[in-house]
């Protein structure tokens, strides 16, 4: 077969390979066919669970009273010298113990609801108190076929699956994008869900927004063992170079 017949064949193979590869590497392939309003997920409020650590700041007009409620306010940052987060640990039944107020149950409550609850209790003894609550030990883990697997601390109260994958450097080329597993503990029971990143319905999944201590496992695809070869990884570039050289040879004649 002459060069003039090989060139179209090579170009066709490059085109087919490029189309199939880009199809695998894109997310939410059907999003263009869905309604933007229907595909959006309502923002879920993070619910506090046993084992969470809360930083509750109570501010009053009296500095001495404020110091009683915030003994660690002068500490720099949310962690102690030993690296542990400072705050109120939610016990196994969902209680925390506050100065003066005593025990209150915060299980399954949002930080906004805890603010209201603490403010209501403070009204019995303290006037004009401002309460601010935040979760300080929000962490997620990303494992499997990603660029940088590991455990990541979340500074905000909300993080999505895409946020977590971004922190981990995104999925590798060989990762299965239609079979992402999320493991979550709810009331002491491990639950899990399978997420398909090629399906826009993922945006409406209750697992799209993450909870504290969620574990994301990205399964490797069938080509993972072969992908370790540099030659296989550079195959698209090699084909492109061969095609370019073939074109140059033909045009030079």
Helices (H) and strands (E) in the chain, counts: 8, 10
247 touches 6 (CB < 8 A): no
54 touches 106 (CB < 8 A): yes
pLDDT in tens, 49-103: 999 999 999 998 888 888 888 876 544 444 555 556 789 999 999 999 998 889 9
219 touches 175 (CB < 8 A): yes
Q: Report the C-alpha gap between 195 and 183 in whole angstroms.
A: 11
* Predicted TM-score (pTM) of this structure: 0.71
pLDDT in tens, 192-238: 999 999 888 888 899 999 999 999 999 998 766 544 555 555 666 67
Q: Report the C-alpha gap between 236 and 230 in whole angstroms.
A: 11
Q: Report the C-alpha gap between 47 and 101 in whole angstroms.
A: 22
pLDDT in tens, 36-64: 554 444 567 889 999 999 999 999 888 88
Among 142, 160, 153, CA closest to 219: 142
Q: Sign of dihedral through CA atoms 160, 164, 167, 170?
A: negative
């Amino acid at each position: 077969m002459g060069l003039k017949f090989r060139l179209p064949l090579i170009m066709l193979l490059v085109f087919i390979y490029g189309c199939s590869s880009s199809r695998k590497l894109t997310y939410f392939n059907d999003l263009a066919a869905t309604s933007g309003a229907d595909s959006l997920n309502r923002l879920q409020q993070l619910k506090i669970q046993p084992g969470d650590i809360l930083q509750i700041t109570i501010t009053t007009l009296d500095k001495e009273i404020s110091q009683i409620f915030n003994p660690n306010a002068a500490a720099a940052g949310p962690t102690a010298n030993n690296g542990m987060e400072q705050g109120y640990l939610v016990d196994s039944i969902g209680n925390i113990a506050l100065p003066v107020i005593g025990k209150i149950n915060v299980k399954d409550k949002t930080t906004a609801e805890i603010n209201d609850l603490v403010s209501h209790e403070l009204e019995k003894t303290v006037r004009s108190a401002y309460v601010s609550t935040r979760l300080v030990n929000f962490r997620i883990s990303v494992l499997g076929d990603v660029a940088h697997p590991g455990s990541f601390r979340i500074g905000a109260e909300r993080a999505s699956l895409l946020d977590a994958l971004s922190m981990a450097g995104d999925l590798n080329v060989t990762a299965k994008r239609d079979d992402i597993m999320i493991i979550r503990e709810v009331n002491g029971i491990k639950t899990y869900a399978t997420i398909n990143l090629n399906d826009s319905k993922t945006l409406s999944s209750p697992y799209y927004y993450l909870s504290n201590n969620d574990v994301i496992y990205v399964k490797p695809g069938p080509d993972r063992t072969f992908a370790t070869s540099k030659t296989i990884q550079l195959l698209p570039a090699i084909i492109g170079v061969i095609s370019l050289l073939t074109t140059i040879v033909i045009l030079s004649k």
